[in-house]
C-alpha cells in the first residue's frame, strides 16, 4: 500500500469537502427521487410496504393486523413535490391513505392530503388540512370528479414561504429530457396540488403586502387556497423543515360516513401504489438549507414569482368549491360558536 505525502493528506479531506458541497448544491438544482430504495424508508408495517420494479414502484398494504407507511430520507424547507398514486380499489370503506409533509415535535407543522375510502361505487373524499405550531382544525373536504383507483394520478405539493398554487404546464421543463426537475432557488410560495399526466408549474399571486399562502389543486385545477396572513397574527408553516410521509391505515371509527361504515376485512389486504416521485426542493442538511435566495428578482430562478393565478384558474377554483366541496371549516358556525377562526375572516 502506498503512503500518501503530507500535502496529499491535507488536500484530500478538503477535496472531499468541496465535492460534498458541489453534490449538495447540485441536489438543490436537480432532485429526482424516482428510486424509492434510495430516497425513501419504509418505517412500519412489518413487510406490508414493498419496493418493486427496481425501485420505481412502492406499495403499501393494510390488513386486520397492521397498516404500513414510509418517509423520505431527506428533510426539506420549501419545494415542489410530485407523487403519482393509485388508491385502494373496490370497497375501501374505513381505510385512509395519507400523503403529507410534516415536521416533528409538539409544535409541528403539517400540510395534509388524506384520501378517505368508501363503499364500492361511492366517491373517495379528499380531506385537506394545514397544521401550524401543532394546531390544525382547518379542514376542507372535496369529492373527486374521477375514479382515483383506476389509474395513477399525480398529487403535488408546492411549498414556499408564502403560497401554494399549482397550474398545469403542458410544455416540458428544462430538465424534462433528463427526467430530472430543476430546483428553483429562493422560493416564496406554498402550493398543494393534484395533477394527472401533466407537469406542474407554480404561480405566485401577491397582494399589497399579503402573501397568499396555500393552494390545493387536482389535475391542475385549484380546489383550495389558504392565504398567508402571518403578518396579521395567523401562523403559517414556513420555519420548520419537513419530511414527506405516506401511510395506509384503518380509521373506520371516523373515515367513512362519520364512522357508520366499518372496514370489511374480508376484502383485505387493501393496497395503494406509488410511482414517479420527483422533487424540486431545498434540502435541509445539518441545520441549513441547500438553497440560497437569489439577489435578483428577475433571475431565472425567480422568474415564476411574477406570475399570478389567472382568471381561468380563479373560475376553476370557484367551480370546484361550488360543485365538489362537501365541508369547509370556515362555514361551520356550529363548530365555532364563539366566532370563526381569524384566517377565515381575513381570507
Q: How far apart are CA 126 and CA 82, in angstroms?
A: 17
Catalytic residue among 110, 201, 205, 230: 110
Which grid cell is 141? Answer: 373536504
Query: Strand pairing partners for 206?
Result: 211
Q: What is the CA radius of gyration of the chain?
A: 21
φ and ψ at 125, to 5 degrees? -110, 130
Catalytic residue among 114, 201, 205, 230: 114
Cα–Cα nearest to 204, from 321, 313, 345, 77 = 313
Task: Name, in order, each residue with C-beta under 8 angstroms of 233's C-beta and a sequence gap of 6 or more.
Answer: 342
Cα–Cα nearest to 167, from 120, 221, 248 = 221
Task: Name, in order, each residue with C-beta under 8 angstroms of 104's C-beta and a sequence gap of 6 or more.
Answer: none
Cα–Cα nearest to 151, from 210, 209, 194, 107 = 194
Cα–Cα nearest to 76, from 290, 235, 226 = 290
Q: How far apart are CA 6 and CA 103, in angstroms?
A: 45
Query: Helix, strand, coil: what percent of the chain each, to 5?
Result: 20, 40, 40
Based on the residue annotation, tell me whether 114 is a catalytic residue of this protein: yes
Cα separations in angstroms, 341 against 6, 106, 107: 66, 21, 19
**What residues are labeled active site?**
110, 114
Amino acid at each position: 500500500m502506498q503512503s500518501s505525502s503530507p500535502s496529499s493528506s491535507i488536500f484530500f479531506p478538503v477535496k472531499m469537502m468541496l465535492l460534498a458541497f458541489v453534490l449538495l448544491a447540485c441536489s438543490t438544482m436537480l432532485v429526482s427521487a424516482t428510486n424509492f430504495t434510495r430516497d425513501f424508508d419504509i418505517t412500519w408495517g412489518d413487510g406490508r410496504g414493498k419496493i418493486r420494479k427496481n425501485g420505481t414502484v412502492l406499495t403499501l398494504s393494510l390488513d386486520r393486523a397492521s397498516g404500513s407507511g414510509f418517509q423520505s430520507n431527506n428533510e426539506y424547507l420549501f419545494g415542489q413535490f410530485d407523487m403519482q398514486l393509485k388508491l385502494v380499489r373496490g370497497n375501501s370503506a374505513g381505510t385512509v391513505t395519507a400523503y403529507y409533509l410534516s415536521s416533528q415535535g409538539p409544535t409541528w407543522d403539517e400540510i395534509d392530503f388524506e384520501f378517505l375510502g368508501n363503499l364500492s361505487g361511492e366517491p373517495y373524499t379528499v380531506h385537506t388540512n394545514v397544521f401550524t405550531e401543532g394546531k390544525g382544525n382547518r379542514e376542507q373536504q372535496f369529492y373527486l370528479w374521477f375514479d382515483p383507483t383506476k389509474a395513477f394520478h399525480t398529487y403535488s405539493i408546492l411549498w414556499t414561504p408564502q403560497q401554494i398554487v399549482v397550474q398545469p404546464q403542458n410544455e416540458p421543463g428544462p430538465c424534462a429530457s433528463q427526467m430530472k426537475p430543476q430546483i428553483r432557488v429562493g422560493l416564496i410560495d406554498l402550493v398543494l396540488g393534484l395533477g394527472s399526466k401533466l407537469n406542474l408549474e407554480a404561480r405566485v399571486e401577491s397582494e399589497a403586502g399579503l402573501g397568499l399562502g396555500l393552494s390545493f389543486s387536482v389535475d391542475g385545477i385549484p380546489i383550495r387556497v389558504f392565504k398567508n396572513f402571518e403578518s396579521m397574527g395567523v401562523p403559517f408553516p414556513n420555519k420548520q423543515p419537513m419530511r414527506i410521509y405516506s401511510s395506509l391505515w384503518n380509521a373506520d371509527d371516523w373515515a367513512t360516513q362519520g364512522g357508520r361504515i366499518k372496514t370489511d376485512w374480508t376484502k383485505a389486504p387493501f393496497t395503494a401504489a406509488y410511482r414517479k416521485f420527483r422533487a424540486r426542493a431545498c434540502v435541509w442538511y445539518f441545520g441549513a438549507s441547500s438553497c440560497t435566495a437569489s439577489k435578483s428578482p428577475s433571475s431565472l430562478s425567480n422568474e415564476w414569482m411574477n406570475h399570478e393565478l389567472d382568471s381561468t384558474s380563479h373560475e376553476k377554483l370557484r367551480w370546484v368549491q361550488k360543485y365538489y366541496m362537501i365541508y369547509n371549516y370556515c362555514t361551520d358556525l356550529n363548530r365555532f360558536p364563539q366566532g370563526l377562526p381569524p384566517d377565515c375572516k381575513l381570507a
